[in-house]
Amino acid sequence: MPFIPHTRADVSEMLASIGVSHVEELFSEIPESIERADLFAIPLGISEMEMLRVLSNRARQDELGPCFIGAGCYDHHIPAAVWDLASRGEFLTPYTPYQAEASQGTLQLLYEFQTMMSSLTGMDVANASVYDGGSGLAEAILMAIRCNRNTKSKRVVICGAVNPFYLRAARTLVGSQGVELVHCEHVGGRHAVGLDDFGEVAAVVVQQPNFFGLLENVDEITDWAASKKALLIAVVNPMTLAVLKPPGDWGEGGADICCGDGQPLGVPMSSGGPSFGFLCTRIKYVRQMPGRIVGRTTDSGGSTGYTLTLQAREQHIRRAKATSNICTNQGLLVTAATIYLSIIGLTGLSNVASASHANTRYVVDKLCASGLVSPTFDGSYFHECAINLHRDAQGVFDELTTKHKILAGFPLGEAFDGLESSLLVCATEKRSQEELDFFCRTLLEVLN
């Protein structure tokens, strides 16, 4: 019997102890009127070997060549040690560290994670994760509305080039709380400050680098939000913060809340999940931040230790008045990210960032030099860039996928009207020189 250790003798002894003659009697409190389950349509169980044969075949079916899509999920190298360590049973199979004395490993790791994320974003504090970038944005929006005591407005301005997949999820998640999300049009791929009058605004959301890979004038946008007494929510890619200006330093006063997806930090793409979302903020807003938070303290013997803290914000204590309903988070991915950041280190992460930028730039320059392709937008970009193929980008993308097994980028027409001829390309540090050249050559062949 898979995963059940009972011998026949065990079962007889246990039934005798309980005083029943058959296991079925233990279910006697289930009313007769409820029909018994019929699982006949589910196949019989198979061994691990057989299961792996079936699923390996399916996995192999989905293997492809090099990936040049980013759009919120990135193909970076993950040091071998990261998942060797994260897959240890001691990290893989514990519950949430509510029993602190039995969970010091996870708790200290989370404290280190909070430290790394706070420093990367230039914020005071970080939580121990939410589900992903999309739900992170939703939580950041709700949090900003709670924090902003200058206004009762629930209007939130979203800059035009915020990740449309995050925005779509956030709309679902905050939709029934009377929040009004005002999505601006981007102007040339960026947010244009001060074009509209939005009235009273609780928060402004800007992404850096934005969905098109472009660098927004975040200092100006931050100051503008502050002048409107709105909180500034920064959506960021933590990998890029090894070299880009952290949200805490934007403008005069810095961002108020920072969120994003931690996938670039040692988490495989895995069809987009599981990854993890993160939230960082100023200390004065910490009690409005949802999700678990670890604090350092001492034990009764005076030794340094760690424990979950500020739990009175959370659903298991505050129930209907909790900051969020979040319970389970993405702990294992945070474990991997913390180990990733430790192994890749300060120099490593900076070089991942600069190499990804340089690789993308190489591809864009080479393609544009052909005259067949041009940048969709002007201005500085980081490690993604929208390129105009001057024809239906979806068709080109499909041809490259089916004929050459190359994922050439994200056809922007899927998410933005008017950008049907543009492809959003990304070449991370993982792409070799051969792959970069092969990509350019093949794309240009298709265009020719």
Partner 1 sequence: MKSEATIFERSRTNRAAGAQVPEAGSLADIPSRFLRESAPLLPEVSELQAIRHYTNLSHQNFAIDRNFYPLGSCTMKYNPRGTHRAASQPGFLNRHPLTPVGVSQGTLECLFELQEILTIVTGMDAVSLAPMAGAQGELAGLLMIRAYHQSRGDEDRDEIIVPTAAHGTNPATATMCGYKATEIRVGADGDVDLDHLRQLVGPKTAGIMLTNPSTCAVFERQIVEMSQIVHDAGGLLYYDGANLNAILGKVCPGDMGFDVLHLNLHKTFATPHGGGGPGAGPVAVNGRLVPFLPIPIVGQRNGQFEWFGEEEIPKTIGTLSAFMGNVGILIRALAYSMMLGRNGMNRVADFATLNANYLAMELERAGFKLAYPTRKATHEFLITLDEEAKQFGVRAMDFAKRLLDFDIHAPTTYFPLLVPECFLIEPTETETKEQLDEFVKAMMQIRAEAETDPRMLTEAPHHQFKKRLDEVKAARELDLVWKPDSD
Partner 2 sequence: MTNAPSDVKYTNTHEWARIDEDQRVVVGISDYAQNALGDVVYVELPEIGIEVSASQEAGVVESVKAASDIYAPVSGSIVAANEELENAPELLNTDPYGDGWIFVIQPHDTGELNALLDAESYVEFCESEDEGH
Helix (H) or strand (E) holding 269: none
Considering beta carbons, is residue 262 or 290 the nearer one to partner 2?
Answer: 290
Sheet holding 422-426, edge to edge: 374-375, 384-388, 422-426, 410-411
Helix axes 433-447, 393-404, angle to 10 degrees: 120
Please give the residues from 41 up to 100 whose contact with partner 1 meets the rule CB under 8 A.
41-48, 51-52, 54-64, 67, 69, 71-73, 75, 77, 79, 81, 83, 85, 87-97, 99-100
Considering beta carbons, is residue 46 or 102 the nearer one to partner 2?
Answer: 102
Helix (H) or strand (E) holding 77: none
Nearest approach, Cβ of residue 308 and partner 2 (Å): 10
Cis geometry, peptide bond prior to residue 97 (ω within 30 degrees of 0): no
Q: Are 402 and 396 in contact (CB under 8 A)?
A: no
Cα separation, 61 vs 54, in Å, equals 11
**Of residues 192, 243, 372, 447, which one binds partner 1 by CB under 8 A?**
243
Nearest approach, Cβ of residue 7 and partner 1 (Å): 8
Nearest approach, Cβ of residue 93 and partner 1 (Å): 4
Q: Does 260 bind partner 1 (CB under 8 A)?
A: no
Nearest approach, Cβ of residue 416 and partner 2 (Å): 43
> With CB cut-offs between 5 and 8 Å by kind, which of partner 2, partner 1, none does residue 187 bind?
none
Please give the residues from 300 up to 359 whose contact with partner 2 meets the rule CB under 8 A.
311-313, 317-318, 321
Q: Are 128 and 334 in contact (CB under 8 A)?
A: yes
> With CB cut-offs between 5 and 8 Å by kind, which of partner 1, partner 2, none does residue 373 bind?
none
Considering beta carbons, is residue 197 or 417 the nearer one to partner 1?
Answer: 417
Q: Does 92 bind partner 2 (CB under 8 A)?
A: no
Q: Does 119 bind partner 2 (CB under 8 A)?
A: no
Give the residue among 171, 337, 355 at the shortest CA–CA distance from 261.
Answer: 337
- Tokens 């895995």, residue located: 270
Cα separation, 162 vs 206, in Å, equals 6
Q: Does 417 bind partner 1 (CB under 8 A)?
A: no
Helix (H) or strand (E) holding 181: strand 180-183
Please give the residues from 263 up to 292 whose contact with partner 2 meets the rule CB under 8 A.
287
Give the CA radius of gyration of the chain.
25
Q: How far apart are the first and last CA of the chain?
A: 60
Under the rule (CB under 8 A), what is the footprint of partner 2?
A: 149, 287, 311-313, 317-318, 321
